[in-house]
């Protein structure tokens, strides 16, 4: 079909996620956040109300969560070395350092998948990322100034 863009649209994906057992059973909530870059705000109840954000951008879907502020890391070089040597142990996820809207740098964990992915693959990505965030917080806690609640 001429002009058809394949893949998920954020509003259609939000509606589909709202019908999934993850949300229907109350294990997570999903709220559509409209704006310049619309996203879905997920609150993962099974993971201590962990906040995740899901966006659809072109050919990919990104699911991400803020880990902590760069300033919360005691030894930046040692931490980055540890992350680069171990992040492969967190399936389907990786860690980045990003400057957010407040102008500060934050470590984030994210997963990316094709905008053509099926709904079950997207739900798997969401659940895997939530689990990986908790595991990363435990694994890298020794590098942080303040113990993370977990």
How many Cα neighbours within 13 Å face the side chain of 82? 15
pTM of full prediction above 0.95: no
Residue 53's contacts (CB-CB under 8 Å, 6 or more residues apart) are: 39, 40, 41, 42, 63, 64, 65
Distance CA 128, CA 47 (A): 11
Residue pLDDT, tens place only, 114-147: 999 999 999 999 999 999 999 999 999 999 997 6
What count of residues does the chain have?
A: 150
Q: Supply the CATH number for residue 111's domain.
A: 3.30.1460.10
126 occurs within a structural domain: yes
149 occurs within a structural domain: no
73 occurs within a structural domain: yes
Total domains in the chain come to 1
pLDDT at 147: 62
pLDDT bracket for residue 107 (50, 70, 90): very high
Among residues 55, 58, 62, the alpha carbon closest in space to that of 14 is found at: 55
Could you tell me the residue range of the domain that residue 61 belongs to? 10-142
Residue pLDDT, tens place only, 2-31: 444 568 999 999 999 999 999 999 999 999
């Amino acid at each position: 079909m001429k002009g058809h863009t394949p893949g998920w649209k954020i509003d259609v994906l939000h509606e589909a996620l709202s019908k999934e057992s993850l949300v229907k059973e109350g294990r997570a909530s999903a709220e559509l956040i409209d704006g310049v870059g619309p996203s879905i705000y997920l609150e993962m109840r099974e993971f201590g109300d962990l906040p995740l954000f899901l966006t659809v951008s072109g050919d990919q879907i990104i699911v991400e969560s803020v880990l902590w502020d760069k300033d919360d890391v005691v030894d930046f070089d040692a931490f980055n070395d540890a992350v680069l040597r171990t992040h492969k142990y967190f399936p389907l996820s990786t860690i980045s350092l990003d400057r957010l809207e407040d102008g500060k740098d934050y470590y984030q964990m994210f997963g990316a998948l094709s905008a053509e992915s099926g709904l079950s693959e997207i739900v798997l990505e969401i659940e895997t990322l939530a689990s990986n965030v908790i595991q990363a917080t435990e694994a890298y806690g020794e590098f942080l100034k303040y113990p993370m609640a977990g």
